[in-house]
Amino acid sequence: MPNHVINRLEFECPEERLKEILSAICYDDSSEAEQTGIGTIDFNKITPMPPSLDIESGSSTDRGINLYLTSVNPSVRYYGKEKMDPVAFTSLVERLNGSRSFLRHNAALTPEEIQNATLYHSEGELLQLGKTAVENLMQYGATTWYDWRTRGDTWNTKWNSYNAYDYNGGNEICFQTAWSAPHPIIEKLSSMYPEVTIKHSWANEDLWQSCGSKTYRGGEMIEYENPYDDMNHLETAASIWDSSLEDYGLVENASRNSYVNIENETYELVSVCGQPGLFSNGKLTEDDIPRGLFVYHLRSGSNGEQICAIENRVSVNHGGSIVTSEPLDLGKTGFLLFDDEHTLNFMGEDITFGQFMEGDFETKEAVDIEQN
């Protein structure tokens, strides 16, 4: 499944004009779309995809292209009747091999390879598929629907729009796309209605990925809003999804310069100096923990096995990090040696930051560890 990208379009124009626009760009009742009518948007109403591109994007088409190239290859005498001019053929193969990353077409299949290629398709079907794909490339710059739609000057996304929000009037429609926002579609839509100002806001469901807004008029972008840092980026993305960061398990970090997810990772529950805490093998900083918690560091002995102290900072022999909900009194020295009074015990339970902050855990019998 792809990452879903939410798209919001706000139109600045008279109400009657907006109704005309929305009626002109929506999915018709006769379409195969799950949702139709005003509030939806059919990219084919704006930048229609040529019908011949609607062929399989995958191994069958690739085999068809190889078979077709072999049939027209002037150097292959054992297969095909109508051969291309050598210069034109070389140019065609170079263009095909430059149209897709990580793929090079075999333009001279052996008889055995021809036999293998036609195991699951008839020779005529496969040749026609390959010919169609090659002609598509020459005419439209792409062999199949996928390569054409995902280009930055057509749709910029592999599927048409889906999951449109119910439209109840107003100047906004909302829909989703796969992986990317359909920037060229919105730019083209603006050029179709040059007197209308259109603001396009988008955000990936993975809030860390692309989000922002562009405003168009007359087919030209007149304003671009791009979040300037991590915090602003996440806050903007969540607002475009009409949700809060808490819905995603994100809270402000202790450094107050970004957000951390309090539900994804688990840490070992410990008892440290009489109060509960969380243990991490890695070195945590205030960037990594939620605001309101405190982080300390363990020092291991010279043999790297025994844990001997807890400190504010450890640069050598770091033995892990401890996160607590209340500050520890490490005195003027900034460290405490573990002894009979000051202990570190593992409680045999793994929990998240969220569970720890909610107190959603039970204090169990401690698991012995070696310590000085």
- Higher per-residue pLDDT: 131 or 117: 131
- H-run or E-run covering 113: helix 111-117
Q: Residue 309 pairs with which residues in a beta bridge?
A: 299, 337
Q: Residue 241 pairs with which residues in a beta bridge?
A: none
CB atoms within 10 A of CB 125: 13
Percent of the chain with pLDDT over 90: 77
pLDDT category of residue 369 using cuts at 50, 70 and 90: very low
Q: Any idea where the domains of the chain sit in the sequence?
A: 4-17+155-240, 52-149, 259-358
pLDDT for 205-237, tens place per residue? 999 999 999 999 999 999 999 988 889 999 999
DSSP character at residue 51:
G
CB atoms within 10 A of CB 151: 14
pLDDT category of residue 341 using cuts at 50, 70 and 90: confident
C-alpha dihedral sign at 154, 26, 209, 102: negative
Amino acid at 180: S
CA distance 310 to 328: 10
Q: Please tell me the predicted confidence (pLDDT) of residue 304.
A: 60
296 in Cβ contact with 312 (< 8 Å):
yes
Q: Please tell me the predicted confidence (pLDDT) of residue 101.
A: 64
Percent of the chain with pLDDT over 70: 95
SS3 3: coil
- Angstrom CA distances, 154 to 53, 78, 216, 219, 287, stand at 13, 40, 17, 14, 41
pLDDT category of residue 368 using cuts at 50, 70 and 90: very low
* pLDDT surpasses 60 at 372: no
**What is the CATH T-level fold of the domain 4-17+155-240, as seen in this structure?**
Alpha-Beta Plaits (3.30.70)
- Higher per-residue pLDDT: 190 or 99: 190
Q: Please tell me the predicted confidence (pLDDT) of residue 323.
A: 97
Q: Residue 223 pairs with which residues in a beta bridge?
A: 215
Q: Give the pLDDT mean for 55-61.
A: 93
Q: What is the pTM of this model?
A: 0.83
